[in-house]
Structure 1
Amino acid sequence: MKVLLTGATGLLGVHLAGELLNQGYEVKAVYRSFPAQINKLPWFKDVDWTKAAITEPADVRRTMKDCQAVIHAAARTDPYPTSLSAYYDANIASTEHMLAAVRKWDVQRLVYVSTASVFRPGTLENPATEESPYAFHLMDSGYIASKYEAQQRVLMAVDQGVNAVVVNPAFMLGPYDFKPSSGAVIRYAMQNRLLIYPGSGGKSFIDVRDAARATVNALRLGRAGGSYLLANENLPYDRFFQRLARISGKKKTMLPLPKSLIRFAGTMASVGERVLRKPLPINAINARLLTQDNYYSGEKARLELRMPTASLSKAIEEAMEWFSMADFYSPNDLKKPSR
């Protein structure tokens, strides 16, 4: 079976490509441009890389023509700006194009990669599940709102006969984060002696390889129309950053910032966004997200998608090892991967 994979150059995407190959699938991977170093990926040459724009319906139809299944993992994921319109083409319209092509070519299954954040988060004692209400109070985040809208369109398509499953990953960590994305927090811990972090709140974390395994398994497992949270370890930020410091092997000074200070800075930044008419790295909604409990349960995915749950510490260790090696690659070797 040949699988069309979008978002193949992102942290989850590169591991999806490797897991697909490991499970015996052929992989056609869509890319817009290659990040530096991606030709260092062990399975780079085993993937059929296809340049295309997921925002162009003709490109989507062309690339999907000879595929029997699709994993749509591509998305704009940066946490700012707040405007939903900034995310519409990449996250919502692209999903509509995928659904149209799935119908045209009678694709056997679509796996849509959403985010855990579309569900109202829970507490350490009672983490959120797939039965939790949607996070409508967080829809001021353009990213969360766009992923919710795209997920709803996939679920509506299921009611119309499309065979689709949704996976909702939590915060993923691991090696081969070429851009980097979530791995930026690991590099931050590696490169700084002073670690500044939120003094309240926390996240659900998962080894990206476990998330990739569950997502690929969803091609043959899971109920059509079902959503599956991909989450493993729930950690308050203080425990998470202490773990980063310990695994780095270097002495760190820890500085937690009060929630009130972070939220005040976010409020002021949102005012600045309106005055300057451009997004800033923090705003009111992102400050809220950064300081609240964001905890989820992956029990359903463990049972129905056979999702493994490796140690988060191992994911951090291997990410640090990879970043250490990646920093030594010659810039002349990183400009354009060879085919």
Structure 2
Amino acid sequence: MKVLLTGATGLLGVHLAGELVQQGYEVKALYRSLPERIHTLPWFGEVEWVKVAITSPVDIEKAVRGCQAVIHAAARTDPYPTPLAAYYDANVASTEHILAAVKKGSGARLVLVSTASVFRPGSLENPATEESPYAFHQMASGYIASKYEAQQRVLMAVQQGVDAVIVNPTFMLGPYDFKPSSGAVIRYVLQNRAVFYPKEGGKSFVDVRDAARATVNALRWGTTGESYLLANENLPYEQFFPLVAQLSGRKKKLLPIPVSLIRAAGRLGAVGERLVRNGLPINRINAQLITQPNYYSGAKARWVLNLPQTPVRQSIEDAIRWFETGE
């Protein structure tokens, strides 16, 4: 079976390419530009790399031809700017183009990579599941709003006969983070002696290799129209940042920042965005998101998609090794 993979140079995308190759699929990987070190990937030469604009319906239609399945992992993931319009083409329109090509072609099976953030997060005691309500109170985030819109497009297409499954990864960690994306938080700890972090809140973490395996498994085992949260360990920041500092092997000064201070900075950032008409690293919605509990359960994906459960400690260690040695 030949699989079309979008977003193949992102943290999840490179691992998806490797997992697809390992499981015996032919891979056509779409990219906008290739990171400098991507040629060092052990599976690089076994993938057909095609330069394509995912915002071009013509390019997407051509790319889908001859493929029996599509994994759509391409997305703009920056936490800012705030407006949905900044994310629409990359996240929503590209999904519409994929759906149109699938409908027009041979009816390839589609796996959409969404995000756990479209679901309202839970607590440590009661983490969110696929049955949790959508996080409409967080839709002021252009990123979350765009991923929700893309997910809804796919669910509507399922009602029209499209064979599609959705996976919703939480915060992914691991090696080969070329940009870097989520690995930026680890590099931040590595590069700074003083480490500031939110005094409250936390995240759900999953090893990117585990997320890749479950996503590829969804091609065979996922139920059409279903969503699967790819989640493993839920950790408060007061545990996560000391763990990264410890594994860095260097002495760090850990400085928790009160939530009230972060959210005040977020309000100022929101005002600044309106004044400069451009996104800022800290704004009201980002301040809310990074200071709240963001906990999810991966039980459904473990049961249906055989999602592995690599300890987050191992994920951090492997990410640190890659950032420092490239291995």
For the residue of structure 2 that corresponds to 1:218, the secondary structure is helix
Could you tell me how far 1:249 is from its partner in structure 2? 1.2
- Partner residue, 2:116: 116
Deviations 1:41-77 (A, max 9, x none): 1111111000111100000001110100000000000
- Partner residue, 2:15: 15
- Partner residue, 2:179: 179
Deviations 1:226-269 (A, max 9, x none): 00000000000010001101111111110000000000000001
- Partner residue, 1:97: 97
Shifted more, 300-309 versus 106-115: the winner is 106-115
Deviations 1:16-35 (A, max 9, x none): 00000000000000001112
Q: 1:30-49 residue pairs with structure 2 within 5 A?
A: 30-49=30-49
Q: What letter is aligned with 1:13?
A: G
- Partner residue, 1:198: 198
Q: What letter is aligned with 2:63?
A: T
Q: Which runs of 4+ in 1 moved over 2 A?
A: none
For the residue of structure 1 that corresponds to 2:71, the secondary structure is strand
- Partner residue, 1:52: 52
**1:219 and 2:222 aligned:** no
Could you tell me how far 1:106 is from its partner in structure 2? 2.0
- Partner residue, 1:287: 287
Deviations 1:132-152 (A, max 9, x none): 000000000000000000000
- Partner residue, 1:236: 236
- Partner residue, 2:209: 209
Gaps of 5+ in 2: none
Q: What letter is aligned with 2:67?
A: C
- Partner residue, 2:326: 326
Q: What letter is aligned with 1:140?
A: A
Deviations 1:209-230 (A, max 9, x none): 0000000000000210000000
For the residue of structure 2 that corresponds to 1:187, the secondary structure is helix
Q: Is the 8 Å Cα contact of residues 67 and 108 (structure 2) preserved in structure 1?
A: no
Could you tell me how far 1:107 is from its partner in structure 2? 3.0
- Cα distance between partner residues in 2 of 1:224 and 1:233: 27
Could you tell me how far 1:104 is from its partner in structure 2? 1.2
For the residue of structure 2 that corresponds to 1:165, the secondary structure is strand
Q: 1:120-131 residue pairs with structure 2 within 5 A?
A: 120-131=120-131
- Cα distance between partner residues in 2 of 1:83 and 1:91: 13
- Cα distance between partner residues in 2 of 1:91 and 1:176: 23
Could you tell me how far 1:276 is from its partner in structure 2? 1.2
Could you tell me how far 1:278 is from its partner in structure 2? 1.3
- Cα distance between partner residues in 2 of 1:108 and 1:309: 29
Q: Is the 8 Å Cα contact of residues 118 and 144 (structure 2) preserved in structure 1?
A: yes
- Partner residue, 1:330: none
- Cα distance between partner residues in 1 of 2:15 and 2:321: 17
Could you tell me how far 1:326 is from its partner in structure 2? 3.3
| TM-score of the two chains, using structure 1 as the length reference | 0.95
- Cα distance between partner residues in 1 of 2:119 and 2:107: 28
- Cα distance between partner residues in 1 of 2:142 and 2:66: 34
RMSD: 0.9
- Cα distance between partner residues in 1 of 2:326 and 2:190: 13
| TM-score of the two chains, using structure 2 as the length reference | 0.99
Gaps of 5+ in 1: 328-339
- Cα distance between partner residues in 1 of 2:82 and 2:106: 36
Could you tell me how far 1:105 is from its partner in structure 2? 1.3
Could you tell me how far 1:201 is from its partner in structure 2? 0.2
- Cα distance between partner residues in 2 of 1:326 and 1:232: 25
Percent of aligned positions with the same letter in both sequences?
Answer: 71
Could you tell me how far 1:188 is from its partner in structure 2? 1.0
Deviations 1:275-321 (A, max 9, x none): 11111111000000010000000000000111111111111111111
Could you tell me how far 1:108 is from its partner in structure 2? 3.2
- Cα distance between partner residues in 2 of 1:19 and 1:326: 20
- Cα distance between partner residues in 1 of 2:81 and 2:118: 17
- Partner residue, 1:276: 276
- Cα distance between partner residues in 2 of 1:158 and 1:106: 15
- Cα distance between partner residues in 1 of 2:13 and 2:80: 22
Q: Is the 8 Å Cα contact of residues 67 and 107 (structure 1) preserved in structure 2?
A: no
- Partner residue, 1:161: 161
Give aligned pairs, total.
327
- Cα distance between partner residues in 2 of 1:325 and 1:113: 29
Q: Is the 8 Å Cα contact of residues 70 and 110 (structure 2) preserved in structure 1?
A: yes
- Cα distance between partner residues in 1 of 2:286 and 2:94: 24
Q: Is the 8 Å Cα contact of residues 301 and 307 (structure 2) preserved in structure 1?
A: yes
- Cα distance between partner residues in 1 of 2:73 and 2:160: 22
Q: Is the 8 Å Cα contact of residues 2 and 27 (structure 1) preserved in structure 2?
A: yes
For the residue of structure 1 that corresponds to 2:55, the secondary structure is coil
For the residue of structure 1 that corresponds to 2:110, the secondary structure is strand
Q: What letter is aligned with 2:164?
A: A
